[in-house]
Structure 1
């Protein structure tokens, strides 16, 4: 008689004794996990095949079973329906993957305007060039004093007081020349439309 042939109570196992008894709790954690996986693995695979791309089913199965196997013996003993628990793990994994895929897509999304895709509008560019040409002509037709004051204010950035000191005229005189220049420019732009 060997040690393996004895039951816990000292009786020897006979040829008709079932090995191991179904209510025996002496199974180790790993054996218990293997038994549960064997019993519910096909259901889990079926669940994943219906909801995930075929190439991901194996990875999801492995990750679901790994999370289930990582439970402590005590936590695993609290699980009343291991099949449903495995499906719950798989559902959470699918949700996590969907969220991360959505976040990846949003981070790679590029919002664009039509002008970025189509490029500049050639018609608008022609109109702008024509308007600029007309404005330049209107400025060139101004008296030298008015044209000079306009350029000093708009292009050189001088204020009316600085221009008045430089030209030796009053601030009101600068305002009058600027008004005259603006009227000529507005008229040139209006003629274009």
Structure 2
């Protein structure tokens, strides 16, 4: 907020100086720093929520600042009086979001390439067949494991359980879980090596 007031003073807004008496509240000039401060206090939260609800959450504060900077710039022109500053701020906010969306679309379109220019390749059917064969061999090897060994292996590799948790659930020591894991890995390794 101080930044806006300082910006107004820096750009030469001399309509209200620090030593000037304050006008009655019904005759405040919209472009004055006092009116802008009051407007900022009353409308910045609303604008912040508006920007945050329209996918601009991380930039909401910057967009609020930009909205008020544009209002201050428009208020500098004495021939142009802003009758409804809240409505003006709403329009500025909407335009800022539109400009942002337009820029994002243009960046996205600039990154696209034509299908003719892209080096598209067909799926490798041999690799797909080899992967399907490997999965079938792994499935068969898992089915050949003893039920407890298979359960321990799947609990660790699929469910992500630690050896300590598996040991507690199975009533084994950690060394016992390690033994079952070694057995399962060895059998699965043999199944993958055999063609």
Q: TM-score range by the shorter chain?
A: 0.3 to 0.5
Structure of larger gyration radius: 1
